[in-house]
Amino acid sequence: MIKVSVMYAGSPNDRFDHVYYEHVHMRLVQSRLGSGIRYYTVDRGIGGGPPGSDAPYVAMCHLFCESVEAFQAALAPHGDELNQDIINFTDLSALYQISEVVVSAPYIS
Domain residues for the domain of 95 are: 2-100
Tell me, what CATH number does 18's domain have? 3.30.70.100
Instruction: State pLDDT tens for residues 50-78.
Output: 998 999 999 999 999 999 999 999 999 99
Residues in the chain: 109
**Residue 19: strand pairing partners:** none
**Residue 5: strand pairing partners:** 62, 97
**94 occurs within a structural domain:** yes
**75 occurs within a structural domain:** yes
88 Cβ partners below 8 Å, 6+ apart?
17, 20, 24, 25
Average pLDDT, the chain: 94
**53 occurs within a structural domain:** yes
**105 occurs within a structural domain:** no
**106 occurs within a structural domain:** no
User: pLDDT per position in the chain (109 positions), as tens?
Assistant: 999 999 999 887 899 999 999 999 999 999 999 999 999 999 999 999 899 899 999 999 999 999 999 999 999 999 999 999 999 999 999 999 999 999 888 878 7
**47 occurs within a structural domain:** yes
Q: What are phi and psi of 103, to 5 degrees?
A: -140, 135
**87 occurs within a structural domain:** yes
65 Cβ partners below 8 Å, 6+ apart?
1, 2, 3, 4, 36, 37, 38, 71, 74
Number of domains in the chain: 1
